[in-house]
A and B are shown apart, each in its own frame.
Chain A
Amino acid sequence: MRHIVVVSGKGGTGKTTVVAGWATLAGSVVTADCDVDAPNLHLLLRPEVSREGPFEGLPGASITGPDCTSCDLCRPLCAFGAIRIDENGRHEVDTMRCEGCGLCALICPQKAIVMRSMERGRWYVSTTRVGTFVHARLAPAEENSGKLVSLVKSKAQQLAEKEGADYLLVDGAPGIGCSVIASLSNADMVVAVAEPTLSGVGDVERVLELAHKFELPTGLIVNKWDLNPRISRNLARHCRKEEGPNLLGRIPFDKAIPRSMAELKTITEYEVSPASQALARTWENLNVELKKM
């Protein structure tokens, strides 16, 4: 089973487009969406949920009315400014700011603060026309997205092993923070989808540096390459360096991509286009690299 994680650094470069397209070419595959706070892959895969459950994360503090004497010991101690006094003079917890550290509950002399388990998101295991799909949604403004990503990954890995799938394809989040770090674990290859812009290059270098820190093999796809052939060439040159990623190919800017998305189809399910052909070539090149490993 080959575990591929697709990242980008910069948002909007085409991670979901690539993962969705590859999922239709991969045959026996489990797919996972680890962009848990702004997931998009389900829009194209149109999943039927078979199982779902709550993501609990850390418990949240709650001040129980009658026992609180308003001694105000808790408020200045909260590092996150999550305890405030409401308009009736009563102490209350701002659930958006509370990070669940539990210090207030520990120090309250009246034991008036409890840590309540909270549903901070939901995970889903679904079936789609391309096979099993694991996805999730972090509740708005929640933190610890890394923990939910780890949950999605572990379920996806278990299912891929159980089904004997040839591939596990993971759609990652933009950036280099906790979600992305959590999405990289156990990857056989981290594939970065880059756009040929100054911003895109700067950003992809950082996510590749992150993958490198974890000693993970890397690949690169240049998407919308023809928008800036000069920068595309620079990216290709970077791939030829010893520690550079394996260049898996380049995809031209193609209106077939937004058009296929508007019809809720992956680019490979839409009419044959320069983009769909280029994507198919990246899949072939990926497999060539995987065989060498």
Chain B
Amino acid sequence: MGQKLAIASGKGGTGKTLVATNLAAICNEALLVDLDVEEPNAYHFHGQRKADKRSWTHRRVPKVIESKCENCGICAQACAFNALAVLSDSLLVFDELCHDCGACYHLCPHQALRGVKHRNGQLCQMNGPPYDLLWGVLRVGEAQAVPLIHNVKKRADELSRSSVIFDCPPGTACPMVEAVTGCDRVLLVAEPTLFGLHDLKLTIDILRLLDIPHSLVLNREGLTKKDPVTPYCREEGLDILAQIPFQRSIAVSYSNGELLLGDPLLQDIFSQLAESLDLEVDR
């Protein structure tokens, strides 16, 4: 069945990419989209050395048309992000601060501003097996992840695949929200620790605000003697769809960029997880 599934967590390092890559590998037809544009990792598990397609991505920033600019300063005054500064005979644009709200173009009385492309990263694709992958890589030094995440999602839409799995960035701020918005459901990956529970709760707050249905995978089950996450899920009526045991061998495979599906027990876990998510499994 077609759907957009987001894999999120709140806390970093809980196993989003581990779950996303293995799920994508076990599913027929699923497109894996890595939206952690600051630190993408899904490509490591693909096995291919180079991307099949790579292109620059851009966001729009203003540039002054000198002959038309009258130094009135309206644009700089209007810019809420302090991205424009009017000097006695020129206009300075601070690309890094521009949020592309469009106010300056709209308000300039002399049509002296035009939008130009500012390179902010790359869009890359790899064809499967084990999975078709689309991802974005933010240029180092670029502060804003959201415009690139937005671009990657737009490209994913253009590929018109029936099932899409989004590997989301950690945290609970705008990059994560941009990533999960528009998805049919979210699969949360949690670890049974206090840090994990703390961040999980923050993430669930957001998913409730966004009204996106969500369920959970417990990773590194057995890491601690007292698991604070499972009782919390029970109290909140949150379904735990799968548990991945804490096993040194899993950590080692992951460290080497290997998928886990060679292990029959783990293949079973991912197979059942996929089925409980209504994803069609490769037999």
Contacts and interface: CB of A to CB of B under 8 A. Distances in A.
Contacts of A145: 173-174
B165 to A, nearest CB: 17
Interface in B253-270: 254-257
Interface string B174-209: 110100000000000000011100110010011001
A102 B78 contact: yes
A145 B202 CA distance: 15
A141 to B, nearest CB: 4
B251 to A, nearest CB: 5
Contacts of A259: 224-225
Interface in B190-244: 193-195, 198-199, 202, 205-206, 209-210, 223-226
Interface stretch (A151-159, A171-179, A243-251, A283-291): A171-179
B12 A174 contact: yes
Interface in A237-257: 253, 255
A258 interface: yes
Contacts of A103: 78, 101-103, 106-107
B194 A140 contact: no
Contacts of B146: 143
B144 A262 contact: no
In the complex, which of the residues A58, A102, A138, A177 has the most CB atoms of chain B within 10 Å of its own CB atom? A177
A292 interface: no
Main secondary structure, interface of A, reads: loop
B223 A258 contact: yes
Given A107-B106, A203-B41, A198 B256 contact: yes
B46 to A, nearest CB: 11
A138 B36 CA distance: 20
A177 B102 contact: no
Contacts of A107: 106-107
A58 B103 CA distance: 15
B3 to A, nearest CB: 22
Nearest to A58: B80
Contacts of A231: 255-256
Contacts of B145: 175, 177
Interface string B90-133: 00000000011111001100000000000000000000000000
B29 interface: no
Contacts of A202: 39, 41, 44
Contact of A79 (B102, B169, B256): B102
A122 interface: no
Contact of B177 (A10, A141, A210): A141
**B contact face: mostly helix, strand, loop, or mixed:** loop
Size band of the A side of the interface?
35 or more
A99 B101 contact: yes
Contacts of A37: 171-173, 202
Contact of A227 (B78, B223, B251): B251
A206 B209 CA distance: 33
Nearest to B200: A38
Contacts of B225: 259, 262
A174 B169 CA distance: 10
A143 B173 contact: yes
B144 A177 contact: yes
B206 to A, nearest CB: 5
Contact of B173 (A101, A142, A206): A142
B188 to A, nearest CB: 13
Q: Which one of B39, B173, B205 has the highest number of Cβ atoms from chain A below 10 Å of its Cβ?
A: B173
A222 B14 CA distance: 18
A12 B106 contact: no
A213 interface: yes
Interface string B7-33: 000111110010000000000000000
Nearest to A211: B140
A241 to B, nearest CB: 18
A213 B141 contact: yes
B41 A199 contact: yes
B38 A228 contact: no
Contacts of B193: 258, 261-262
B262 to A, nearest CB: 17
A141 B178 CA distance: 9
Contacts of B194: 43, 261-262, 264
B209 A141 contact: yes
Nearest to B40: A202
Contact of B198 (A40, A141, A178): A40
Contacts of B11: 11-12, 38, 40
Given A11-B170, A16-B195, A198 B44 contact: yes
B159 interface: no
Contacts of B141: 181, 210, 213
Contacts of B84: none
A101 B10 CA distance: 27
Contacts of B199: 38, 40
B173 to A, nearest CB: 4
B80 A101 contact: yes
B99 A178 contact: no
Question: Can you list the 4 inter-chain pairs with the closest CB atoms, starting with the nearest?
Answer: A11-B12, A12-B13, A101-B101, A175-B38
9 contacts: A37-B202, A40-B199, A43-B198, A101-B81, A176-B39, A177-B142, A199-B44, A227-B252, A228-B256
